[in-house]
A and B are shown apart, each in its own frame.
Chain A
Amino acid sequence: MEDQGAHPVMEALAAKRSAIIQEWLARTFHTYPEHTARFLLQETDPFRNPVGSTLTAAFPVLIDAVLGGADAAPVTGALDGIVRIRAVQDFTAAQAVAFIFLLKPVIRDLLKNAGQAAPDRDALAVLERRIDELALLAFDLFMKCRERLYEIRVREARRRVKILLKRRGVEGRNADPENGGNGEANRPIPDSPVLRFPDSPTLGWKRP
């Protein structure tokens, strides 16, 4: 059984919550070119700086999940906001989700500076597993985003000639349920990603 946050290491980290968030954010912003990192960090208007603001709002939710365990819904929502951005930016798949792993050195450095050179192995194992689970969830979300991109591209192409097809009476089987089609082409893509990750002992994610 896992220790759900009562451990001294967890308590030490919980006390440093905002320092962890700041450092993790700073390191994540530095995955962008130097000038951009400064802009993402300093501009606080959410409409002038939507990327920085999304990350700044989401990181506390993720930290709470890692330090104390949390419900799946807010974690998924927060992570989705970040991954949706990084899935279309100039990153490879690995680079897009690597920011999760940046949390590990942040925590280690912090513990080292706090004089906990050799913290409890069990507590560290729990922390690292939670971070790994977060990374796997991020990868699932990344894939979902990429799949959505291609689905949306197809739907866009259909929209461009929709009336032309209608005029010729060849709107496509998928389009028209009344003509024996299944209506699939008209169905909006579901927004919330389906979490297929097995029940997690740490974050309490449940199968939908």
Chain B
Amino acid sequence: MAEQTPKPEQLLQIDYRPPAKDWRDPTVEFRKGVFCYSAAPKNLEYLGLPNPRKWQPYDEDWKLPPNWKQIILEGMRDRLQKFRSFRLFMDICVRCGACADKCHFYIGSGDPKNMPVLRAELLRSVYRRYFTLAGRLFPALAGARDLTLQVLKEWFYYFYQCTECRRCSVFCPYGIDTAEVSMIGRELLTLVGCNINWVLEPVANSYRTGNHLGIQPHGFKDSIEFAVDELAEITGVRVEAPINKKGAEVLLLVPSADYFGTPHYFTLLGTLMVLHEIGLDYTFSAFASEGGNFGLFTSHEMIKRINAKIYEEAKRLKVKWILGAECGHMWRVLHQYMDTMNGPADFLEEPVSPITGTRFENAKSTRTVHICEFTADLIHHRKLALDASRNDHWTVTFHDSCNPSRAMGLIEEPRYILKNVCNHFHEMPESTIREQTFCCGSGSGLGTDENFEMRMRGGFPRANAVKYVRDRFGVNLLACICAIDKATLPALLEYWVPGVEVAGVHELVGNALIMKGEKERGTDLRGEALTPKEELVHA
């Protein structure tokens, strides 16, 4: 033993540098905390997806079908023919590096394979090997790799480390949408039964009951009635919240997290208050009881399957148009896919606000209006009585949720609302908001608790910008318009920026809204006591 004890000089020679690794080496380690658990077989069976079985990513044997390689390559060939964008994204990248340092996962983790260019290269290298002449003849020179089991595992590891937020695509001079590369990567993995439960359980639930949480119609009705009762206690006003009302003018679509989760629930309360106050003739649907669509994180086919209920319910209930509440990826689907996948919605009318007469021309085709557009229009036409001082306990900043900002350009409306319902509002630095907004790090089905460490890494750039406005302006509330944000940002901020809470924009609208016939508000929508006006004057 004595001879083996290192001398002090030797101790000082420890090299802390990680060993140099070739990017083509596909080895990954599935350490708990940085990956999501596999989908339960019952969910695959329910959806008719291939290869349902019990397995976990850290298992040596993934129990793949014997011809898995053929399935993947055929799936790839099929998609190369079907999606011109996919073939283009495989061919045109010149590896300029513009996207390299734009991914929140790369910035937070330092793992080079989180650089969007390299993440896509994991798929491109296999594309080159089997679908290009150069790659078939000179694989090493062309940067081509054989499709091996390790490569498949690497795909799973990194395509479920992309939140499909599309920040990198903002910076790509060729317009490559790396999120779509991740989407195809996940589709291919799904062909051999490699998917995650946090995505497929909500999808299976949606397919069965219409919403992610699997709430059945009577449970849904309970939820809405509970919210109505609570509002009556807080405001003294009993609002109408019709469900499955045939012939209503508008179908209201909300993410199901709004029913139980906090702080989502307070956004639901605010939404109900606004719609009651202006007397909108609207209805919920107990089947289209979910705007969110985790099909987006599974496959194109699944997006379509899950989304079909929305137009179907709109048709059944004979509404004129659809109003969508605060949700993120729901809007990517509604805005960019629904029209061509489930449309045309020619049985609906071009949306016009019955209160202000505003024609929402941007929604001419989908016939679906975002609630922030709708409320901003109400405020602009002075149709809401607001007392912004009821939000004086908050100093607010706004987090642009990835999909509303980058997929539909909804940037000014929520800010316009916030500036009208709050007296203290401060922006985060320009390079972290609007189109350049940093993701929460938990989107695209990665917001599960077993993936907690990875989420903390991915969310660090966002939290870092929040920390800046907390320290500089005393910001104590981060407003946002995405249900996944509301579910996951509170934990992110608790870790990186304690003291900052999270709220939906319509929670703050609800606080500020002066309703006809309301009693004096003792509390805000969270039940926190408000300081009475006289005391503020004396202070």
Contacts and interface: CB of A to CB of B under 8 A. Distances in A.
B498 A188 contact: yes
B457 A89 contact: yes
Secondary structure class of chain B's binding surface, majority of residues? helix
Nearest to A40: B110
Interface in B21-69: 21, 31, 34
Interface string B511-534: 000000000000000000000000
Q: Is the interface of A mostly helix, strand, loop or mixed?
A: helix
Given A45-B431, A99-B16, A188-B498, A155 B112 contact: no
B291 to A, nearest CB: 18
B265 interface: yes
B261 A36 contact: no
A62 to B, nearest CB: 17
B376 interface: no
B194 to A, nearest CB: 22
A48 interface: yes
A89 B101 CA distance: 17
Contacts of B101: 39, 43, 48-49
A47 B469 CA distance: 12
B262 A90 contact: no
B260 A162 contact: yes
Nearest to B222: A167
Name the residue among B107, B259, B496 with the largest chain A CB count within 10 angstroms: B107
B226 A50 contact: no
B85 interface: no
Contacts of A78: none
B16 A35 contact: no
Interface string B332-375: 00000000000000000000000000000000000000000000
Contact of B491 (A48, A51, A156): A156
A48 B460 CA distance: 11
A98 B20 CA distance: 19
Interface in A89-140: 89-90, 95, 98-99, 102, 104-105, 108
Interface residues of B, number: 50
B6 interface: no
Interface in B185-235: 222-223, 226
B261 A160 contact: yes
A145 B460 CA distance: 14
A33 B21 contact: yes
B32 to A, nearest CB: 12
A46 interface: yes
Contacts of B488: 156
B173 interface: no
Given A89-B109, A152-B495, A188-B499, A50 B461 contact: yes
Interface in B222-262: 222-223, 226, 257, 259-262
Nearest to A188: B498
Interface stretch (A6-14, A24-32, A65-73, A194-202): A24-32
B293 to A, nearest CB: 19
B460 A85 contact: yes
B499 A191 contact: yes
Interface stretch (B385-393, B406-414, B418-426, B448-456): B448-456
Interface string A172-208: 0000000000000000110100000000000000000
B498 A90 contact: no
Contacts of A160: 257, 260-261, 487
